[in-house]
Amino acid sequence: MQQPSLIRVAVRPLRALFVSDAFEGILLIAIAALAIIVANSPLADVYEGFFHDPLAWTPIAKLNTVHLWINDALMAVFFFVVGLEVKREIVAGNLADARQRRLPVMAAVAGMAVPAAVYLLIAGGDPRLANGWAIPAATDIAFAMGVIGLLGSRVPASLRLFLLTVAIVDDIGAVLVIAIFYTANLKFAWLIASLLVFGGLLALNRARVSMMTPYILGALVLWFCVLNSGIHATIAGVVAALAIPMRERGGSTMLETMEHALVGWNAYLVVPLFGFANAGVALAGLGLEEAFAPLPLAVGAGLVLGKQLGIFSCILTADKLGIAKRPENAGWAQIWGTSVLCGIGFTMSLFIAELAFPTNRLLIEEAKIGILAGSLVSALLGYAVLRLSTKGSPAAA
């Protein structure tokens, strides 16, 4: 049997990285690192000015900085894809079967509630910080699946599916949290207009309109109405996605076609650009006192301790009481490692931090420290637990 060449052996892991789920996670890590480096380099003023200085001209007055265009407009595409994924899973995926969705839904709810409780336990005594309770409640699906991708066949397929489903339910929870708890000064005229536009999109679906253009135009109008309503504009992305038809046409559906067309743009442009614009932490002036202040400690502890405690204890309790079975072919050490990975809260946590402290840059910077530190610890610890508790298949070897 011919032995593989030394070059092929050396290149194989790199090639596998670029064709696996791991690449998206690695890309986000690189983007976050680059943002931190730039924010603490001689280019720091250029970085800050580019994203936060008022624009000389903008077609929408509410979006008068590049940062706002990214967070309020471009991220609507991210939430639209999230909405498409959620609808697909509810209609024909893992959330369609009550028995299959029971454990992931329970685990996701516990994985949001316990981190929030841990946060409030540490930082809730300060009224200025209480609004950040939802920051450690979110899981970054790209990061978490990226770490799982690095482990290849060491992780059972059932555990991968479980993590993906938990992350999707987590996204639903995060969207609801943003809509309910981070909305102020509602403008009812714009809210009614938003409801009318959404009704129009549903009418297009019911009338079996098969052209994409009316849905796309309707989604843009809905986004503009929501932007002016007082509800965060990105919620329009999720709401619009719920109106997209999922009827078979030529072997696929409009929903699947849109999702496949946008998922690459989402993974390699929207989220990395958001990460670069939001992950940059200016460390100048932030000493040990700020790094170990109640806010970063609360966020980090919520992600590292709260997530794993909430999710793992929920799975253990449900399995022991016969409420739901743990994922097949997965040992408790593997389940623990996967629960730890859910503490990676990069994208959605950064997003919620901006909403929680919109007028206080120092608190946002401190929250970023907690998010980045907590996510890094969760990623390294989760990877180590899964690596030590699993063995690769012969095919992977």
Residues in the chain: 397
Q: At residue 36, does pLDDT exceed 90?
A: yes
- Tell me if 381 is assigned to some domain: yes
Q: What's the rounded mean pLDDT across residues 203-223?
A: 96
Kindly report, residue by residue over 300-320, the tens digit of the pLDDT.
999 999 999 999 999 999 999
Q: DSSP letter at 248?
A: E
Residue 103 in tokens:
């454990």
In a domain, 4, yes or no: no
3 within a domain of the structure (yes/no): no
Q: Are 179 and 235 a contacting pair, CB within 8 Å?
A: yes
Q: Does 5 have pLDDT greater than 90?
A: no
| Closest listed residue to residue 168, CA positions, set 100, 227, 118, 247 | 100
Question: Is it the case that residue 257 has pLDDT exceeding 70?
Answer: yes
User: What pLDDT digit, counting tens, does each position of 174-189 carry?
Assistant: 999 998 999 878 899 9
Give tens-digit pLDDT for 370-396: 999 999 999 999 999 999 987 654 333
Range in 87-101, 200-214, 316-330 the model is least confident about? 87-101
Q: What's the pLDDT at 7?
A: 52
Query: Which CATH number does the domain housing residue 173 bear?
Result: 1.20.1530.10
pLDDT for res 21: 59
- Residue at token pair 């929920």: 314
SS (H, E, C) 165-229: HHHHHHHHHHHHHHHHHCCCCCCHHHHHHHHHHHHHHHHHHHCCCCCHHHHHHHHHHHHHHHHCC
- Reading the block at residue 327, the tokens are 């994922």
Mean pLDDT of 51-72: 95
Cα 80-169-87 angle, rounded to 5 deg: 45
For the chain, give the mean pLDDT.
89
Any domain includes 48: yes
Q: Any idea which residue has 């009614």 for tokens?
A: 192
- Residue 249's SS3 state is strand
Burial 39-51 (b: 16+ CB within 10 A, else e): beeeebeebbeeb
Helices vs. strands in the chain: H and E counts, helices first: 19, 2
For the stretch 121-170, pLDDT in tens is 999 889 999 999 999 998 888 888 888 888 877 888 889 889 988 988 99
> Residue 376: which domain range?
16-278+289-389
Domain presence at residue 171:
yes
Asked whether residue 5 is domain-assigned, the answer is no
pLDDT for res 392: 53
118's CB contacts (< 8 A; 6+ apart) are 136, 298, 301, 302, 305, 306, 309
**Residue 236 domain flag:** yes
Domain-located, residue 155: yes
Separation between Cα atoms, residue 388 and residue 5, nearest integer Å: 29
Asked which of 108-117, 138-147, 290-299, 384-393 is least confident by mean pLDDT, the reply is 384-393
- Flag whether pLDDT at 102 surpasses 70: yes
Q: Between 247 and 219, name the one with better pLDDT.
A: 219
For the segment 27-31, the average pLDDT, to the nearest whole number, is: 89
Strands (E), the chain: 248-249, 252-253
pLDDT band at residue 1 under the 50/70/90 scheme: very low
Question: Which two three-digit tokens encode residue 86?
Answer: 């959620």
The pLDDT of 206-219, averaged and rounded, is: 96
**pLDDT over 50 (residue 9):** no
Q: What is the pLDDT of residue 296?
A: 96
Domains identified in the chain, total number: 1
